[in-house]
Amino acid sequence: MIEAIKKFSAGYRAVGIKNTTGIEGSGWIATIMKDGKVLGDAADYGDGAAVHVSFTNQEDEQALYDHAKATYPQFQYATADCFLGDLVNYELAIAKLKKQAKKKLMKAEEGELDENGVAKSYSSWNAPDSPELRANILAKYPETVFLNDELEGWADIKKSRK
């Protein structure tokens, strides 16, 4: 799961995500980074308009648009909206899953994937992670890949570095 998100994101990260409420629903505001460098901010104000992108460097902004267009070739317009929306959703999902993985042993259900190759659902065992539990599960289901291990490969970026 994490490898699919890393491939999709191509080094882009959304950090400091804040939820907003607009006249047409919920939205978000986030700092966008690539490979550890702060590029600028992006915001979906929940007003039905396009995502607002404000980068300090025009080349970085164009590179984001180019990556989004390559990621979503089936769309003519709003590809940055799709890319940034998915990026924010993945960041929020990972944060939630990492919190749950501290308490339970988890796995991604790889049977149903989204358009970016990321599992759409996850399951957990109602028990804390332990070598004994893992051994019992692997004895019955040897192909199991534990999400707890994958989540360790996703670095937490708590504070944007400008």
DSSP letters along 51-83, please?
Answer: PEEEES-HHHHHHHHHHHHHH-TT-SS-HHHHH
* Range of weakest confidence among 16-25, 85-94, 148-157: 148-157
Average pLDDT (39-56) is: 93
> Would you say residue 162 has pLDDT above 70?
no
Task: Please give, one letter per residue, the 3-state secondary structure of 118-148.
Answer: CEEEEEEECCCCCHHHHHHHHHHCCCCCEHH
Average pLDDT (100-106) is: 92
Question: Which letter does DSSP use for residue 95 in this model?
Answer: H
Q: Label residue 110 by pLDDT band (50, 70, 90).
A: confident
This prediction's pTM: 0.87
Q: Label residue 77 by pLDDT band (50, 70, 90).
A: confident
What are the boundaries of each domain within the chain?
Answer: 1-153
pLDDT of residue 105: 93
Average pLDDT (92-110) is: 90
| Residue 17 identity | I
Render 20-42 in DSSP notation, one character per residue: EEETTEEEEEEEEEETTEEEEEE
46 in Cβ contact with 21 (< 8 Å): yes
pLDDT of residue 158: 61
54 in Cβ contact with 41 (< 8 Å): yes
Tell me phi and psi for residue 28, to 5 degrees: -155, 160
* Range of weakest confidence among 14-28, 103-117, 131-145: 103-117
d(CA 64, CA 74): 17
